[in-house]
Structures are given as C-alpha cells and as structure tokens.
Amino acid sequence: MTTKDGVVKLADFGVATKLTDAEKNNSFAGTPHWMAPEVIEMSGNVTAASDIWSVGCTVYELLKGSPPNYDLNKFCAMIKNVKEPMPIPEVVSDELRDFL
C-alpha cells in the first residue's frame, strides 16, 4: 500500500485470521507461499512464531523479488515449506541469515 506521501507500507500477508485456542487445531488460513509449516500441517502449534515465519518470507521476497518457492504452484510450495527449511539467499549479512 502506498500512502499519499509516497511511502510504501506492508498492508497484510493476504489472508489473516484470529483463532481461539479451540480453533487452532481445526483451522487452516493463509496465503500458501507465506504459510508456516505448522499452519500447513494444522498441528495445533500455531503461535506468534508462525507469524514470524511469514515475516521471514516477506524479507526473502524483498531480497529476491518473490517469496520462497514462488516458482512452484501453491500446493507444491506448501509441501516444500513443510519438508525443507526456508531457502536463504546467498548474499545476506550474518545477522539476517540468523533471523531467516
């Protein structure tokens, strides 16, 4: 989203939801290329760390121009998010590598 003064701001990750504790085990919401593995697996372990995963995907997208596994269809990207660690761009600082 671009404001009147030309500043670009991150508006959202595409799909957002707030779940009760009971819903965490039975709900599935998100945008596939930015979804944390525990959200995809519906493991019930959805925490703030799941949102941090999405932030990491956004940082990756800022560096590479597209989110991790964007070359794959949404279903394949979700499977890869669960089975493999997030790829890290080759040229990043040690601090950013640690964050990602």
Q: pLDDT digit string (tens) for 14-41?
A: 555 565 666 555 556 667 888 888 888 8
Domain with 77 in it: what CATH number? 1.10.510.10
How many domains are contained in the chain? Answer: 1
Instruction: Give residue 88's domain range.
Output: 23-99
Does some domain include residue 74?
A: yes
The tokens for 79 are 């499977």
Does some domain include residue 17?
A: no
pLDDT, position 83: 93
| The residue to which tokens 């991150």 are assigned | 10
Supply the pTM of this predicted model: 0.68
pLDDT, position 28: 60
Say yes or no to pLDDT of 1 above 60.
no
* DSSP string for the chain: -B-TTS-B-----S------TTGGGT---S-GGG--HHHHHT-S---HHHHHHHHHHHHHHHHHSS-TTTTS-HHHHHHHHHHSPPP--SS--HHHHHH-
Say yes or no to pLDDT of 93 above 90.
yes
Does some domain include residue 29?
A: yes
**Angle at alpha carbon of residue 11, lines to 45 and 1, rounded to 5°:** 160
Does some domain include residue 1?
A: no
Does some domain include residue 3?
A: no
Does some domain include residue 43?
A: yes
Mean pLDDT of all residues belonging to the chain: 77
